[in-house]
Amino acid sequence: MTRRRRLAPASPGTVALPLALWALCAPGLSGAQQVEVYCTSNVMVYLSGARTMGGVGGGVGVRGFPGPPFILQADVSSLLLLGNVAALRLGAGVQRSGLYSPFALVTALTLLGDRLTFLTPDHPVPVTGPAVSLGVTVAPLRFVFQGAEVSLLQLGAGLGTDLPGLGISYSLGLMEVGAAF
Amino acid sequence: MTTRQIRLLAFAVAAVLGGACAPAPVLEGANLDALRAVAGDVDGDRAFESITALVTAHADDTPIDCSGLRYDRSPRLCHISDTLARDWVQAQFESYGLAVHRDEALQNNGYISELLYTSNVIAELPGATRPEEIVLVGAHFDANWLGADDNSSGMATVLEIARVLSTRRFARTIRFVGFDLEELYLVGSDRYVDTIPNDDIATALVFDCVAYFSSAPGTQRTLPGLPSPDSGDFLLTVGNDVSARGVSQVYALNRELDIMKVVTVSLPRDGTLPFFGEPMMRSDHTPFWLTGRQAVFLTDTANFRNPYYHTPDDTLDKLDKASFTRVIQLSAAAVAYWAGEPQ
């Protein structure tokens, strides 16, 4: 079992994304507007004693509404500046209904790709595999009108998995636009 | 198929997959006693005298003609000297019984309109069993003003390693290189790499500024996202993707031999990053990285620690001989490890 994990490190994102997509699209969750597709631009960084990952970029995602006030979302972004990094973010939480629709989500963020690596007594060989963190994301400036969505600012923070030691992730969403179907 | 056969098959598959994927030990095959003996042969006083001699050479030298400078007209560029230091470095290599030659050229690199005479100094200790594989040890010998830390300390490190290792024989060839005109944007190392397209460089170890240390809090600056101690009392070891194993080996060797405080950073890909790349690619390891070769860079972090960097005050009295000696000990052991068993 241990060896199998080493051979193919399980990324929560690789499992969770299909599940999230299924959850968004599955029969029984349907309402008047079930799925929103959005584009986002963001800054994401993951910092630990063993590595620094992240960058600036953008991506696309889908968001579903299983029933007020709950929302589920999954997005994938491509980040530059510290090499090439793919960011997969899954979230579940609540939102306010109406024109002004801020949300708060519990998010799992997975960063894959290039990184700066550091060696420490706790990490005498370079860390490998994705950087995974669990945290919260809030969108205090989010507006929805007739199926169109604009979010001007999203703030996120989380705790990561580079054990031993602490990893912290930060994310800043600069602009997000979406449309519901 | 019986249950026993299935179990055997599963065991064989697991063994093959495990063997294929298990990482090799970082210090595979290291003879730590022999490497400890190499480190123990380093003479810090003698190496410091080399810094003194190089600083004296720069003080007595005539700076290069900077009248044709383009783009960058920093005052320091009118105080670069290399001629007397180059002669002294060559004489030292020859005194160790190494085969020495110069790689001479009249060239410029676009930063200066005139053609400049440049000459790298190259010495070799031939390998005993794998002479075609080369471990390169290099530093630049030119300097702005006196250049005690930048980079008489690096060149003196190369010379002391050459002195210690020249009394032994190794499997691989060890090539010691003094690079010319690094201060004029890597002229010597750039040309050096261009002239060796087919050389099998197993790894290169490059030094630039390795003798300025301070244990006082607040003496070390860093960049956002780069974890660093607050005091400038460590050696920074820098690599890129292809050099990451070399960085790990220096780090592991230092732990095994318990020599000094070492901090490491490995950059992704060839090291060229918009934000972190420039500070990490200011020295002679850069042409190696950009041509896909392995090169490990050792430094005291230069201007991130040393307030006298690129000033007339980069003088001998600012240097820490004890820490400098430890840098050479670690480096000599690393070069000996990469070159194969001392014989």
Q: Who's near B8: CB < 8 A, 6+ residues apart?
A: none
pLDDT of amino acid B250: 98
Give A174's contacts (C-beta < 8 A, 6+ positions apart): A41, A42, A43, A152, A153
Whether the predicted pLDDT of A4 surpasses 70: no
The answer to whether the CB atoms of B247 and A52 lie below 8 A apart is no
- Give residue B46's domain range: 34-211+274-292+308-339
pLDDT band at residue A16 using 50, 70 and 90 as cut-offs: very low
Which residues on chain A are in Cβ contact (under 8 Å) with B265? 116-118
pLDDT tens-digit series, residues B208-245: 999 999 999 999 999 988 999 999 999 999 999 999 99
Whether residue B260 is contained in a domain is answered as: no
> Could you tell me which chain B residue has the CA closest to the CA of A45?
B225
Among the partner-chain residues B23, B252, B269, the one whose CB lies closest to the CB of A114 is B269
Instruction: Say yes or no for a CB contact (<8 Å) between A82 and B266.
Output: no
Q: Is residue B10 part of a domain?
A: no
Number of structural domains chain B divides into: 1
* The two three-digit tokens of residue B168, written as one number: 């032994």
Q: Which residues in chain B have their CB less than 8 angstroms from residue A51's CB? A: none
Between CA B39 and CA B331 the distance in angstroms is 8
Which residue among A83, A121, A125 places its CB closest to the CB of B273?
A83
Residue B106 distance to chain A (closest CA, Å): 37
Q: Which residue has the higher pLDDT, A5 or A119?
A: A119
Across the interface, of A6, A116, A125, the residue whose CB is closest to B267 is A116
Q: Which residues of chain A neighbour B276 with C-beta distances below 8 Å? A: 82, 116
The set of residues, in sequence order, having a beta carbon less than 8 Å from that of B313 and lying 6+ positions away, is none
Average pLDDT over residues A94-102: 96
Output the pLDDT for position B22. 55
Instruction: Note whether residue B110 is domain-resident.
Output: yes
- Asked if residue B229 belongs to a domain, the reply is no
Cα–Cα distance measured from residue B182 to residue A103, given in angstroms and rounded to the nearest whole number: 55
Length of chain B: 343
Residues of B within an 8 Å Cβ radius of A = 14, 17-18, 21, 23, 26, 225-227, 244, 247-248, 251-252, 255, 263-269, 273-276
Topology (CATH) of A10-180: Porin (2.40.160)
Domain CATH number, residue B129: 3.40.630.10
A55-69 b/e with 16+ CB inside 10 Å = b?
bbbbbebbbbbbeee
A·B CB contacts under 8 A: 60
In tens digits, chain B (343 residues) has pLDDT values of 455 555 545 544 444 444 444 567 899 889 999 999 999 999 999 999 999 999 999 999 999 988 888 777 788 989 999 999 999 999 999 999 999 999 999 877 777 777 888 899 999 999 999 999 999 999 999 999 999 999 999 999 999 999 999 999 999 999 999 999 999 989 999 999 998 888 899 999 999 999 999 999 999 999 988 999 999 999 999 999 999 999 999 999 999 999 999 999 999 999 998 878 889 999 999 999 999 999 999 999 999 999 999 999 999 999 999 999 999 999 999 999 999 977 7
Model pLDDT, residue B2: 53
**pLDDT tens profile B301-316:** 999 999 999 999 999 9
Residue B245: inside a domain = no
Is residue B176 in some structural domain?
yes
Residue B298 lies in a domain: no
- Predicted local confidence at residue A20, as pLDDT: 47
Q: Between A125 and B211, whose confidence is greater?
A: B211
* Mutation target among A118, A122, A169 for the B interface, most CBs of B within 10 A: A118
* pLDDT given at position A28: 41
Of B255, B265, B274, nearest to A124 by CB-CB distance is: B255
Could you tell me if residue B254 is inside a domain? no
